[in-house]
A and B are shown apart, each in its own frame.
Chain A
Amino acid sequence: MMQTISIIRSRTVVLTHRNIDTDQILPARFLTTTSRHGLGPHLFADWRYDDQQNPNKDFPLNQVDPAEYQVLVTGDNFGCGSSREHATWALLDYGFSVVISTQIADIFRSNALKNGLLPIIVEPKIHGWLTRHAGEFVEIDLQEQSLTMANGNIVGFPIDPFAKTCLLNGVDPLGFLLQQEAEIAAYEKSDS
């Protein structure tokens, strides 16, 4: 369920490719599950493993210990394509809590925010520095909406205010919607 996020300090893993779609994040053959859990082992399956299902040594995720690397820095337009929320679940199950890119696809961003995976958009210049410094520590302060890089630079990032409240306080958007029962009933009455 909804995890709360406040301050995250972690090393980064970098995938430079642009337009990484959700079929790469979690291939469709793993969508036959009826659970939200256990998808981490299949994250980026076709890039992470070779034809024989052995780890591909060149793939960045295979070079680090997930426990120390909670921040994924990716190329532009991350999470495009399919709406599968399984992609978000797989990233979280693997151990990521933040995705940083220059642009993040709409449905993926919405799914991420609802599950406690923080999507952060940064300027290309900042993104360039982060991609050149894979493995360095970053610190993310959601309350302050700030990203502190290993060189000491601090940059702000935008986030939808409602999503911020939900993430900081563990507010469930469904609970918020359910509280609007009177308004919803009134709308249904006027629309019928």
Chain B
Amino acid sequence: MSSQTQTLFEKVWNRHVVVPESNDTPATLYIDLHLIHEVSSPQAFSLLREKNLPVRRPEKTLATLDHSTPTDPEPAARTIPIVTADVARQIQALQDNCAKFGIQLYDLDSDHRGIVHIIGPEQGLTRPGMTIVCGDSHTSTHGAFGALAFGIGTTEVAHVLATQCLLQNKPASMAINITGSLTDGVSAKDLILAIIGKIGVRGGLGHVIEYRGETIDSLSMEQRMTVCNMSIEAGARAGMIAPDQVTFDYLEGREKMPTGARWSELLKSWQDLSSDKNAAFDRQVDIDAGGMRPMITFGTNPGMVMSINDCIPEKGTDESLDKALAYMGLKHGQTLLGQKIDIVFIGSCTNARISDLREAASLLRNRKIAKGLRMLVVPGSQAIKKQAESEGLAQIFIDAGAEWRESGCSMCIAMNGDTVPRGQYVLSTSNRNFEGRQGSGARSILASPLTAAATAINGKISDPVELM
């Protein structure tokens, strides 16, 4: 193994080391972009206040409201009703903290507001080679651009606010090599669910994953974001994809992206952001995407997943599976095709981008959702909402009988008024099917936007390929 060769992760890591790791101390890593939201930041600002510390580089932190923010459609007044007094306090705290410390906030009435991991890329703030952190585990999303992006806790949010740095031990590296073409009806969501199914929910523990290979090369940026988004569901510290022309084309001309000579400079600086030939990874996993089918979860973590036409595993020695199926009201050996669904949710930082909405709308055009079924379509940002409205997608959802809502995390985290009632089944394009994630006693089944749309039309779990 040559000491000269480096993985993409190592290149980005090395460029951000302020003080190297020693036997006794972690590395000090510089953070280029810090994203904050209302839920994981108030206690961080409290720490600064307790210690009488300023925010070191306020221009490197951006705030938005998404997690506890309601998504009720109130477009005219923009006076979104806040669900509880606690939430009102939390939103007020972010507004006050941003004002006091000089941090830009995309407030409730901002056209730039949206889910934190959607707006960064959308505005060209997320860039190749950056280090990006947020008090949110799905920060891995930004790795799709060749950034090293990972979720942190609130204490670390305070560290970044105060010093623009984090103390970090260098994670291990894992290459996931993916070959084969995704067939019609199989999406990036199905690909990442299949990967998690293969390596397991702790398969990526302590590792930064690099997704590579011809299948990844062929994906759009939005699809790559869906893949990297769920890296944390495999336990990984981060997920990354080397930037290429697809990345550069996506970024050029974005609102916050420089133009002219500065753009050319940036473009040049991104050219070597890929793993060197023969770079050594601590672990390699090969995946064949060629024969993949739409994927669907049946249990209470994203690793309990199967092809849509498969049956739930037979009873074995796994008590966790038994517990999961008892919670889900499902049986060993059964198929999920035809399973009645109460709610379909299209949204979240995994699948609420314009291409996700286009895919879902392609099946819902001139069709109605099943009688008695509730369907929420929650765009990932106000910009996506506007675009979907101008493209006519919103009207397709409304005509089909779905609710078209304001942007936010909505039913993915169910702390904003959008919840699934106890015992009901929700087919969700989000990222977590944990017990109670979408409401106490809610039964979550994760799938792609196409599968969600097909299921909404039939009122029961359906293979989207049959409607295409």
- Residues of chain A touching chain B, judged by Cβ–Cβ distance below 8 Å, are 16-19, 21, 23-24, 27-29, 31-36, 46, 51, 75-77, 80-86, 88, 103, 105-107, 110-111, 114-115, 160-162, 165, 173-174, 176-178, 180, 183-184, 187-188, 191
Contact = CB atoms under 8 A, between A and B. Distances in A.
Nearest to B151: A83
B414 A177 contact: no
A85 B152 CA distance: 9
Given A19-B201, A27-B436, A161-B24, A114 B422 contact: no
B313 interface: no
Interface stretch (B40-48, B175-183, B215-223, B459-467): B40-48
11 contacts: A17-B320, A19-B320, A21-B301, A31-B68, A81-B432, A82-B137, A106-B205, A110-B156, A114-B156, A188-B57, A188-B164
Contacts of A80: 201-202, 235, 301
B184 to A, nearest CB: 32
A133 B135 CA distance: 37
B344 to A, nearest CB: 20
Contacts of A19: 201-202, 301, 303, 320
Given A27-B436, A34-B90, A177-B162, A184 B415 contact: no
B319 A16 contact: yes
Given A17-B320, A51-B441, A83-B135, A32 B68 contact: yes
Interface of B: 18-19, 23-26, 28, 30, 39-40, 42-43, 46-47, 51, 53, 56-57, 67-68, 84, 86-87, 89-90, 93, 135-137, 151-156, 158-159, 162-165, 167, 169, 171, 201-202, 205-206, 232-233, 235, 237, 301, 303, 319-320, 323, 413-415, 422, 432, 434-437, 440-441
A111 B44 CA distance: 13
Contact of B153 (A31, A107, A161): A107
Nearest to B169: A160
Contacts of B93: 34
Nearest to B67: A31
Contact of A24 (B18, B201, B434): B434
A32 B90 CA distance: 7
Given A32-B68, A85-B43, 8 more contacts: A36-B43, A83-B153, A84-B153, A88-B153, A103-B202, A106-B206, A107-B152, A173-B167
Nearest to B303: A19
B232 to A, nearest CB: 8
A184 B24 contact: no
Contacts of B152: 83, 107, 110
Contacts of A86: 154
Contact of B23 (A81, A84, A161, A183): A161
